[in-house]
Amino acid sequence: MGPLVVANWKMNGSEQLLRAVVQEVGGLAEATVVLAVPAPYLSLTKGFGNTQVEWAGQNVHWLKSGAYTGEVSASMLVEMGVGWCLVGHSERRQHFSETDELVLAKTKACLEVGIRPIVCVGESLQERQAGKALEVVSRQLTEVLNGVPRALAPLIVVAYEPVWAIGTGEEASPEIAQEVHEALKRAARCEIEALELRVLYGGSVNADNANALMRMPDVDGVLVGGASLEALGFRQLCAQVAGSV
């Protein structure tokens, strides 16, 4: 499988930007481009016809339906043609109190309907400074892998997003990313033998640093926040990633 570029718009963007981005990256064949846009925009996706772009939710509820005002279920995402969903982004862990337990429940809800979960893991600055980065991310990952049906685990993609690199303009060095990705893949194989986990890097990725990150053997793609909010620049970033393998 080729490299993966996932754009996480967070609570940003507009319909106009969506159209511009799809126009720029919809024809890229060398990389898989997935757009994780705010939920209302996912209802527009069918109108884009035969674009190569794929779609992701930014969040999902863990139950199938019910009295949970404001929430979106995994089967609703499927109905909108969505094939992926971010789970456990650090902003959700931080601002919406999502625990490892909840991240597992959401991952399972996705897998049950065939949505590929992009499970986000990452250490805080304090955890890194305390030398605990590998321990923290490995725990976040194994909590998930331990709890999902083994046969469905290959659908999971992991995004390593060090909290200190998100939105700060201070990306992890390619060497740091490589070290953590390698550790995550090793931890995954300890849980599920022969699992070939794909690991994306996220945190201040842009068109200037994407290539160096992608050259690392265990960086399988990128998860991009701010730099996905400008259509031309994002196309350049995708082209960098596509050309890097």
Confirm or reject binding of residue 162 to ligand 13P (CB under 6 A): no
Token representation of residue 222: 């990128």
Rounded Cα distance, 160 and 212, in Å: 16
Q: Name the active-site residue from 89, 98, 123, 181.
A: 89
Confirm or reject binding of residue 8 to ligand 13P (CB under 6 A): yes
Tell me the sheet residues that pair with 201: 160, 222
Q: Where are the beta strands (DSSP E) in the chain?
A: 4-8, 32-36, 54-57, 84-87, 116-121, 157-160, 198-202, 221-224
Region binding ligand 13P by CB under 6 A among candidate stretches 27-35, 75-83, 198-206, 213-221: 198-206
Confirm or reject binding of residue 88 to ligand 13P (CB under 6 A): no
Region binding ligand 13P by CB under 6 A among candidate stretches 25-33, 105-113, 127-135, 225-233: 225-233
Minimum distance between the CB of residue 107 and ligand 13P, rounded to whole angstroms? 16
Pick between residue 136 and residue 166 the one whose CB is nearest to ligand 13P.
Answer: 166
Minimum distance between the CB of residue 89 and ligand 13P, rounded to whole angstroms? 6
- Annotation says 89 is catalytic: yes
Rounded Cα distance, 60 and 38, in Å: 11
- Annotation says 95 is catalytic: no
